[in-house]
């Protein structure tokens, strides 16, 4: 009876853990892709709306808004995507180089490397037999040993340096999708007097949704996160609009 009850408990715990892993985003590989979507989308909607606001402030023709907006959308989106790819690719190369060095150090001076493991877990509170058991388990396998040293000594894991191409693509797609929101009123023939107001409202909604997503990801207060993203975007837009107005006045005087 006791054995059956124990097996039942283990099964329940296994199911609960599986559910937890599916629901919880922290520590999950998808977390890094969600970050790409949030920050790529935020940058896309803010920079594109800044272009729209600046050109409206300068009273340029709406055709100019479309041209500049689309140019910004594709050029900046590609720049962000390649930046994310190159950054992660460099991190992956660094990870592989350092891991090879760790494996070589394990071969050349295993006692020093073993002592590094011991000191790392001593600082975590392991002592006595528990500490020696942990050290023996880790150092029994050189690959496991190197992975632990990468985490403890360099703060790096293979998981967060993987798939640089996917990170780049997800960043680009988020930038383009969210960045196109301020341009929608100008692309689909909404009445002239409504285009900029609709762009303002739709951009504000997009920023709030991105802020809520970021707060959910970071476990912050959702209202505060949404307001932070919204206010930063509003500030950028206000600056762009003000610069446009000033340049329009200057160009008008110059003419």
Maximum Cα interatomic distance, the chain, rounded to a whole number of Å:
94
pLDDT tens-place string over residues 159-187: 767 788 888 888 899 899 988 988 988 88
Q: What average pLDDT does this structure show over 35-62?
A: 83
- In this predicted structure, the answer to whether residue 231 has a pLDDT above a threshold of 90 is no
d(CA 78, CA 80): 5
What pLDDT is recorded for position 212? Answer: 79
d(CA 15, CA 125): 30
What pLDDT is recorded for position 22? Answer: 52
pLDDT tens-place string over residues 109-144: 989 999 988 998 888 888 888 888 988 999 999 999
* Report for 80-84, 192-196, 228-232: range of highest mean pLDDT: 80-84
Based on the number of CB atoms within 10 Å of its own CB, is 135 exposed (0-12), middle (13-18) or buried (19 or more)? buried
User: How many residues does the structure list for the chain?
Assistant: 255
Based on the number of CB atoms within 10 Å of its own CB, is 179 exposed (0-12), middle (13-18) or buried (19 or more)? buried
- Ramachandran angles phi, psi of 245, nearest 5°: -65, -45
Confidence of residue 220 (pLDDT cuts 50, 70, 90): low
Model pTM? 0.71
């Amino acid at each position: 009876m006791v054995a059956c009850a124990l097996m039942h408990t283990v099964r329940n715990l296994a199911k609960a853990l599986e559910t937890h892993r599916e629901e919880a985003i922290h520590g999950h590989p998808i977390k890094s892709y969600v970050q790409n979507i949030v920050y790529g989308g935020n940058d896309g909607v803010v920079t594109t709306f800044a272009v729209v606001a600046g050109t409206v402030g300068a009273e340029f023709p709406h055709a100019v808004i479309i041209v500049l907006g689309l140019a910004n959308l594709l050029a900046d989106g590609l720049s962000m995507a390649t930046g994310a790819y190159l950054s992660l690719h460099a991190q992956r190369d660094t990870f592989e180089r350092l891991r090879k060095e760790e494996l070589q150090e394990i071969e050349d001076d295993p006692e020093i490397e073993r002592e590094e493991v011991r000191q790392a877990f001593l600082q975590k509170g392991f002592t006595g037999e528990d500490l020696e058991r942990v050290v023996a388990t880790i150092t029994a396998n050189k690959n496991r040993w190197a992975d632990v040293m990468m985490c403890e000594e360099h703060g790096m894991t293979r998981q967060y340096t993987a798939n640089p191409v996917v990170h780049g693509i997800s960043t680009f797609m988020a930038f383009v999708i969210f960045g196109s929101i301020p341009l929608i009123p100008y692309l689909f023939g909404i009445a002239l007097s409504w285009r900029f107001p609709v762009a303002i409202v739709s951009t504000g909604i997009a920023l709030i949704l991105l802020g809520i997503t970021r707060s959910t990801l970071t476990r912050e207060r959702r209202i505060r996160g949404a307001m932070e993203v919204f206010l930063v975007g509003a500030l950028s837009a206000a600056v762009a609009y003000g610069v446009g107005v000033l340049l329009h006045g200057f160009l008008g005087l110059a003419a």
